[in-house]
Structure 1
Amino acid sequence: MDNRLLLYFTTLIDQGTFTNAAKKLHISQPSLSSAIKKLEENVGLTLIERNTRKISLTIEGEILYKEAKKLLNHFEQVHKEMTRLKKEGPLELKIGLIESVKFWLPKVIASYREVNPDVNIKLREVLGLKQVEIALQNYKIHLAITNQLFENDEIDTVPIYKENLVALLPKGHHLESAPTISIHDIKDDELIICQEGFQTRQDILNAFRKSGASPNIHFEIERFETACSLVEEGLGITIVPENYIKSNTQSAFSMKIISDANLSRTVYIACMKNRYLPPVIIQFIEETKKFFEQ
């Protein structure tokens, strides 16, 4: 399939009219119309409804448009990467992060930089499911370190470690001296929890559901940092990854294992399937896996 025809087709849909699309592509309207007809002949399908004044796609046209945008984007990124490699070499690594990686990621990066001292590393927080998917699909990041469970066949995940989820209670809480607690012990406390779209929220709600308890949700947050601050002010309790608070020794809250819930989460490296990954990306993935194997 001719990339040029796909470009003409997607530009027509994006621009909305043959006039605007032809202008954008710097070709004549008859040439654009001819190209669209040729594309339809090539695929053997009608792609555009021609009985309306407005550009409208058939069902087949919608499918081709969606896939063509992916193909063209991928082709453009590979072309850019090849051009950059010729001039500069493989010098960039873009990583999407969740908050709890702070306890180990600097160690991995330090080890990685010993072998790749010239790589420019860009770290970006990507927390919710949709945020991770969009960042990967749109080439904003090469890979994501995430606990999200994907139902997207285009994304590949490699589990790297498992971490416990623990409850944080404000100082002076009536369970402060308890060695462990249960879900039922905290079901009436004001709960600070992640927003919709976060896997940790789903894990916590599932634990309450299995225990036959209903959570008393009072705050919905995006970052664990915010949740911890609210707990320190005595505004409720929260449940966070144990690794997130490992380095926090001066906090005004107490950490408790939830003994009856088996609350934990798996952290993955996620990247797009069937996409070119420069050697520096593959090296980082291998360095991360080696860190946890050791």
Structure 2
Amino acid sequence: MEMNQLLYFVTLVEQATYTKAASLLHISQPSLSMSIKKLEKEIGLTLIDRSTRKSKLTKEGEVLYQEAKNLLNHFEHVKGEMVRLKQRGPLELSIGSIESSNFWTPKLIKQFKDEYQDIHIKVLEVLSVKDVVHALSNFDIHLAITNQYINQDEIEVVPIYEENLVALLPPLHALISKSHLGLADLEGEDLIVCREGYQTRIDIQNACRKSGIKPNIKFEIERFETACSMVEENLGITIVPENYVAYSKNPSYHIREINDVNISRTVYLAYIKNRYLPPLVLRFMKMIKAFFDDRERKLENKENLF
């Protein structure tokens, strides 16, 4: 089995026809067909079901396609890394992050930049599970800061901190007279919540279920920034991570804790297990752990003063 055979096979699957695949690969159609048949003979498996007019993958073909795709992605990544090392050296860090991590990632990046002055850093916003998995699997990022627990064998997920969710009330809302809220106070209120597939929505729905109430979701959004703006326009109430709004400057909405249920979320560090990570990436991951270990110690010391 050779790399070009896998490339031909993957291209054929993705292009769906021999004509399109051969054109993209700049080879003749008979050459492509011969290469696929040779691959099948070498591994002793039928990859393409040719019994119908329209060819389709066998179960074995589907397995090989996924594994070959991963291998080709890895190959391209390594090849790109070698070119980059030759041209610029190993000074690139790509991070996927969620909105609420903005309260600490700039501090850590500044500290990291002091150590690696010539580093080129990319910070991409990855929100849903699909976004995170796609970005990691396609080598768009080295690591992800996410509130999604990803249950996949090839991805390592390490918890780094927990944060409570809080309610944001419009400027003149009747509930601002209360210093804190219960979920029952929000029953019947117009809610602005993340769309399906986002962990924060799942956390809110689970908390409402435990409290025996049905959330009145009127608006679905992707970004907390959008939700905050909608609250300021008196369109409804939203529930967001406390760290997202802890550092907001002069907001017109009101922040209230939700005290009757444990409504919180865990934030994780996620990365591909068996992938080579440059030393500077490992260093950044170590700095993240140290940052929150130190933060936890400071909180414990503060509590011990009272």
Q: What is aligned with 2:118?
A: 118
Q: What per-residue deviation string (whole Å, max 9, x for no partner) do you get for residues 73-120 of structure 1? A: 111111211222133211211111111111111110111011111111
Confirm or deny that 1:245 pairs with 2:277: no
Confirm or deny that 1:207 pairs with 2:240: no
Structure 1 residue 249 displacement after superposition? 4.1
User: TM-score, with normalisation over the residues of structure 1?
Assistant: 0.94
Q: What is aligned with 1:151?
A: 151
RMSD of Structure 2 on Structure 1 (CA): 1.7
Q: Secondary structure at the match of 1:161?
A: strand
Partner amino acid for 1:185?
D
Distance of 1:157 and 1:116 partners within structure 2: 26
Q: Percent identity?
A: 59
Task: From the superposition, tell whether residues 173 and 22 of structure 1 become closer, same or farther in structure 2 (CA, over 3 Å).
Answer: closer
Distance of 2:12 and 2:68 partners within structure 1: 12
Structure 1 residue 277 displacement after superposition? 1.5
Q: What is aligned with 1:135?
A: 135
Q: What per-residue deviation string (whole Å, max 9, x for no partner) do you get for residues 173-221 of structure 1? A: 2221322211111112111111111100000010000000111111111
Confirm or deny that 1:44 pairs with 2:24: no
Structure 1 residue 293 displacement after superposition? 0.9
Structure 2, gaps ≥5 residues long? 295-306
Q: What is aligned with 1:97?
A: 97
Q: What is aligned with 1:88?
A: 88
| Greater Cα shift, 247-256 or 49-58 | 49-58
Q: Secondary structure at the match of 1:257?
A: strand
Q: Secondary structure at the match of 1:196?
A: coil
Q: What is aligned with 2:198?
A: 198
Partner amino acid for 1:46?
T
Distance of 1:28 and 1:234 partners within structure 2: 63
Structure 1 residue 30 displacement after superposition? 4.0
User: TM-score, with normalisation over the residues of structure 2?
Assistant: 0.90
Instruction: Extract structure 1 runs of 4+ deviating beyond 4 A.
Output: none
Task: From the superposition, tell whether residues 16 and 189 of structure 1 become closer, same or farther in structure 2 (CA, over 3 Å).
Answer: closer
Could you tell me whether the CA contact under 8 Å between 2:149 and 2:268 is conserved in 1?
A: no
Structure 1 residue 37 displacement after superposition? 2.2
Distance of 1:72 and 1:32 partners within structure 2: 18
Partner amino acid for 2:54?
K
Task: From the superposition, tell whether residues 164 and 5 of structure 1 become closer, same or farther in structure 2 (CA, over 3 Å).
Answer: same
Q: Secondary structure at the match of 2:176?
A: coil
Could you tell me whether the CA contact under 8 Å between 1:78 and 1:276 is conserved in 2?
A: no
Q: What per-residue deviation string (whole Å, max 9, x for no partner) do you get for residues 115-157 of structure 1? A: 1111111111111221222122222222111101223322211
Q: What is aligned with 1:258?
A: 258
